[in-house]
Structures are given as C-alpha cells and as structure tokens.
Structure 1
Amino acid sequence: MKHPAVLILAVLLAIPALVLPSGAVTPDEVLDDPVLEQRARDISAGLRCLVCQNQSIDDSDADLAKDLRVLVRQRLMEGDSDQEVVGYVVSRYGEFVLLKPRFSARTLVLWATPAVILLGGLLYLVVSARRRRPVSDAVPLTEAEQADLRKVLSSRDHDS
C-alpha cells in the first residue's frame, strides 16, 4: 500500500456520515446519550426549518435550523418530554414550525374550505340547470284548436 495516510483520511471522513444519518446535523450537536439523540432526531424530523420551509431542521443547513436543533437537545437534556419540547418550540415560533400541523378548528377550516367551495359550485350548477329546464306541463290541443291549426297549415301550403 503506497499511501496509508490517504486510506486513514478516507475512513476518518466517512465516520461522520456513518454516525450522522441526517445531512445537516454536525458532530458538535450530537448528544452522547444515544437514546436522547434518537429522541432529538425524532422531534427534529417533525419541525420545519423556518428559512427553508420545506425541510425539517435536521435536513437544513440554515443557522436558525441549527439553533433549533441545539434548542431541542438542550430541552431534552433538561428533562423535558418530547411533547414539552415540541410545545415549547411551537409556543415560540407558532404552529407553522410543525411539518405536520395539529388538528384544530383552524386546520379544519383550512382543509374544508376547498370542499365547501366545490359543493357550493355543484349546488349552484344544479339549481341553475333546473331553472333553465323548459316547462313540460303542456296541455293537449282541443279538437277545435287542432282543426284551426290544420286550416292554418293547409293555407300556408297553398300560398307557397
């Protein structure tokens, strides 16, 4: 082997990738306790980066995402439950920080509005179609009316 230093360097560079499954978490953020670290990862996977907006804080390289990852780990080390940590972050940054929003009256309105608009449009179309429908309550012609009609039609045929 000509360059053992290159092999050692490659192994050393690969270790963080093996230890850190998420791209943005740096080694200085990782907790020594693997159980707490896994809890932190689980919580962080559900928190939105407020800068990137479509990434979790574990996947984001933004400074705010790093601050949030550190905050989650600090709260866990202080003994907070997972729900307390999430509640704390939501109290500071609002519901938007959750990648999967909680079910509430606000989210119900948000998700139900398109369905209500669609149903309203369908109802409007049905009512409009019924109003435009021709009246089919036609009364048959009497014998006298039929005779008059034949007379008019036959006179038209003779005039042409």
Structure 2
Amino acid sequence: MTWLRALLLALSLLAAQSAAAVSPDEMLADPALEQRARDISAELRCLVCQNQSIDDSDADLARDLRVLVRERLVAGDSDEAIRQFLVDRYGEFVLLNPRVNNHTLLLWGAAPVLLLAGLLVLWLMGRRRRAAAPGLSPEEQAALDEFES
C-alpha cells in the first residue's frame, strides 16, 4: 500500500509541475486567451533550459517570453503571427517542433533513412548467416528423421 501512495504522490507532483511555472500574475482574465497563450507556450522552447517548453520552465527568460506571448495576444495578434515573431527574433530553435523547410529536411529525413538503412543491414547480415550456415549431412538428416518418427 505504501508503494501506491508513493506512486500517487509522484504523479501528483508531475501533474502540478507544469502549472507551477506560470504564476498567477501572468495569467490573463479571459479564459479563451489564456488557453491560447498556454497552447502557444507549450510549443516554444525555453532558451535557457532547452528541453522544456516556456510553459514548464521557471527560468526568467521563459517568464519574459510567456509575458510577451500574452501581451501580443491581448494586442490581437494571431497564434501564427506570435510564433513567427519569436522565430524572427530567436530563430527556429525557439520552436520545440521545427518546421519542415529546406534547411530542416536533413533533420526530418535522417531518422527514417537511418532506420531503413539499419534494417537493410540486419536483413543482409541474416541472409549471409543463413547462407554460410552448414546444412545437415545425410547421416545427420537420417538420424533426425529417425528420431522424429
């Protein structure tokens, strides 16, 4: 029963972690705008933490970016305009999921190509191993047949 309590505590701490980064003074009064801000913030990389979204990060720069996103939403910018503003300012690195462009084709294409190449190598090695494995001699095959019957 104690392991169940520990698991529930760990899960509740993980669930509360993302909510802890956004402070109440940052939140917008309009729930629809706040939800849009959270959705945009979840897609933007914290430039200090690098593997966290600005929505999850407690870094000062992440807070500044969250405030900037909310300011631009209140000013009437679209979600894409806000993303483009941040990309123009910080580069595509600010996006957690980079766009597919000419300069990101290698990033998007390398994983499937490497996976297929690895599978091809494994298949070729398996074929060679089967071809190099000696078969049973006629005496061994006769003994095997006698044993099976």
2:85 aligned to which of 85, 88, 111: 88
Correspondence for 1:47: 44
Identity %: 66
How many residues end up aligned between the 2 structures? 107
Moved >3 Å (runs of 4+): 113-123
Shift of 1:106: 1.6
Q: Structure 1: give runs of 5+ residues left out of the alignment.
A: 1-16, 127-160
The structure number with the bigger radius of gyration is 1
Using structure 1 for the length normalisation, give the TM-score: 0.58
Equivalent-residue separation in structure 1 for 2:115 and 2:88 (angstroms): 35
TM value normalised by structure 2: 0.62
Deviations 1:66-95 (A, max 9, x none): 000000000000000011111111110110
Q: 2: CA distance between counterparts of 1:33 and 1:119? A: 48
Residue 98 of structure 2 aligns to a residue whose secondary structure is coil
Contact 1:23-1:58 within 8 A present in 2 as well: no
After TM superposition, list the pairs within 5 Å mapping 1:42-81 onto structure 2: 42-81=39-78
2:19 is the alignment partner of 1:22: yes
Q: 1:118 to 1:31 in 2, by over 3 A?
A: closer
Secondary structure at the aligned position of 2:39 is classed as helix
Paired position in structure 1 for 2:95? 98
Give, in whole Å, the separation in 2 of the partners of 1:87 and 1:25.
22
Structure 2: segments with no counterpart, 5+ residues: 1-14, 125-149
Contact 2:46 2:61 in 1 (8 A): yes
Other structure's SS at 2:20 match: coil
